[in-house]
Amino acid sequence: MGHMLDTTVDPATEKAAAKAVDTLASVRENIGQVVYGQDRVVDLALAAILSGGHALLVGVPGLAKTLLVETLGTVLGLKESRIQFTPDLMPADILGSEVLDQDEDGRRAFRFIKGPIFTQLLMADEINRASPRTQSALLQAMQEKAVTIAGARHDLPKPFHVLATQNPIEQEGTYPLPEAQLDRFLFQIDVGFPELSTERDILISTTGATLPTPSKAMTAKSLIGMQSLVRKLPVGESVLEAILTLVRNARPDQSDDETIRKTVAWGPGPRAGQALMLATRAKALIEGRVAPSVDDVIDLASPVLRHRMALSFAARADGATIDTTIERLKDRIR
pLDDT confidence of 279, banded at 50, 70, 90? very high
Q: Which residues contact 279 (CB under 8 A, 6 or more apart)?
A: 47, 48, 51, 53, 186, 187, 300, 304
Q: Which residues contact 288 (CB under 8 A, 6 or more apart)?
A: 21, 25
- Indicate if 261 and 208 belong to the same structural domain: no
pLDDT confidence of 172, banded at 50, 70, 90? low
80 has which bridge partners? 121
Per the structure, the complete domain to which residue 256 belongs is given by 233-334
- Indicate if 206 and 313 belong to the same structural domain: no
List, for residues 73-89, the tens digit of each pLDDT value. Answer: 889 989 888 888 888 88
- Indicate if 33 and 72 belong to the same structural domain: yes
Spell out the long-range contacts of 245-253 with Cβ–Cβ below 8 A and sequence spacing 24 or more.
245/332, 245/333, 246/276, 246/297, 246/301, 246/305, 246/329, 246/330, 246/332, 246/333, 247/272, 247/273, 247/276, 247/305, 249/329, 249/332, 250/305, 250/309, 250/325, 250/326, 250/329
* Rg of the chain (C-alpha set): 21
Is the CA virtual torsion 309, 313, 315, 319 positive or negative?
positive
- How far does Cα 148 stand from its chain's mean position? 23
List, for residues 189-199, the tens digit of each pLDDT value. Answer: 988 777 787 77
d(CA 185, CA 179): 11
Is residue 122 within 8 Å of residue 80, measured between CB atoms?
yes
* Structural domains in the chain (count): 2
Q: What is the mean pLDDT of the chain?
A: 84
pLDDT confidence of 55, banded at 50, 70, 90? very high
List, for residues 232-250, the tens digit of each pLDDT value. Answer: 888 889 899 999 989 998 8
pLDDT confidence of 23, banded at 50, 70, 90? confident
Please give the pLDDT value at position 4: 63
Give the type of residue at 304: V
Please give the pLDDT value at position 275: 93
Please give the pLDDT value at position 300: 93
- Indicate if 248 and 281 belong to the same structural domain: yes
In DSSP notation, 116-161 reads TTSSSEEEEETGGGS-HHHHHHHHHHHHHSEEEETTEEEEPPSS-E
User: Could you tell me the CATH number of the domain that includes residue 27?
Assistant: 3.40.50.300
- Indicate if 211 and 265 belong to the same structural domain: no
Q: What is the pTM of this model?
A: 0.89
* DSSP label of 190: E
Please compute the mean of the pLDDT values over residues 130-150 and round it to a whole number. 84
pLDDT at 99 over 80: yes
Please give the pLDDT value at position 282: 93
- Indicate if 238 and 214 belong to the same structural domain: no
Residue 214 lies in a domain: yes
Please compute the mean of the pLDDT values over residues 321-330 and round it to a whole number. 88
